[in-house]
Structure 1
Amino acid sequence: MPNRWKPNVTVAALIERDGHFLLVEEDTADGLRLNNPAGHLDPGESPIQACIREVLEETAHDFTPTAVVGVYLNRFRRTRTGDDITYLRFAFAGQLGTHHSWRALDEGIVRTVWMTPEEIRATRDRHRSPLLLRCLDDYLAGQRFSLNLVHTDDSVLQPNG
């Protein structure tokens, strides 16, 4: 099967502090959008490692995942190009750590912002993905799974597989 379909694997962090959630505001082809700190799984890393890296790159904070909130599949059509893309998202809850104020945020990230669930719902038209709200709702409903749910074989972590 030379044209096998392969979804894009992404990770996202749900980070809560005092009833507010840490989001990033991103400059996208469709304008400024809100999203969880999130990004793509890179070769040679586990989903947990990818989430730690993405939070650091997008928020300049350390992050320690403590639970899996859920695994989500989403299909998206890019407005400008018409590309049809499917994402498989691993969403993690966890603890925010040290802020490294000297770090520049990842390209495209304009700023980080703390928002209440009500504020997040009120800005639905600015969400980068419908998964932002779905992950938030699952988190608020108390959905948590052990990190052991996501297993990464050692072969993935070794150079040159």
Structure 2
Amino acid sequence: MSWQPHITVATVVEDQGRFLLVEEHAEGRQVFNQPAGHLEANETLAQAALRETLEETGWDVELTAVIGIYLYTAPSNGVTYQRICFAAKPLAQRPNHPLDDGIIGPQWLTRDELAAQPERWRSELVLRCIDDYISGERFALSLLRD
């Protein structure tokens, strides 16, 4: 039997106590997630995070740190994901930028607004990454080697 984890990136973008989230359709429901997605061939983890954030929210961001590296097995399908989560600051929104299929749109929520809706989290990693960010977890971007 072949087992292979899925490599994903996510970005926690904070502005004045609000976090940039993606409202999207997943598994037949509307959920919140960080801008996130799979690493593609021939791109770095940082490039993937910037690309996914733009594709899912229309926002250009600047990566500032690595928050953490998470191993998560989804109970819905048994797939294991290795998530590299970045911290970023917002630079500019591209108002007419087309968003990926399945994306309803970007939402700015406080930590408490998100925490009050656990049934809408894509996974438990959504709040965990924000909580790690709030607690000050930061690692230099140089931690990652291309």
- TM interval, shorter chain, is over 0.9
Give the count of matched residue pairs: 146
Question: Which amino acid in 2 is paired with 1:63?
Answer: V
Q: Which consecutive unaligned segments of at least 5 residues does structure 1 have?
A: 153-161
TM-score (norm 1): 0.87
TM-score (norm 2): 0.96
Question: Which amino acid in 1 is paired with 2:92?
Answer: T
Q: Kindly state the Cα deviation for residue 101 of structure 1 after the two structures are TM-superposed.
A: 1.2
Name the structure 1 match of 2:47. 49
Whether 2:146 is the aligned partner of 1:148: answer no
Name the structure 2 match of 1:92. 86
The 3-state SS of whatever aligns with 1:143 is coil
The 3-state SS of whatever aligns with 2:74 is strand
Larger radius of gyration: 1
Which residues of 2 match residues 6-45 of structure 1 at below 5 A? 6-45=4-43
Q: Which consecutive unaligned segments of at least 5 residues does structure 2 have?
A: none
Q: Kindly state the Cα deviation for residue 4 of structure 1 after the two structures are TM-superposed.
A: 3.7
| Deviation per residue, 1:25-46 (Å, 9 max, x gap) | 0011231000001111001001
- % same residue: 43
Contact 2:11-2:88 within 8 A present in 1 as well: yes
Cα separation, 2, equivalents of 1:98 and 1:19:
17
Cα separation, 1, equivalents of 2:57 and 2:130:
18
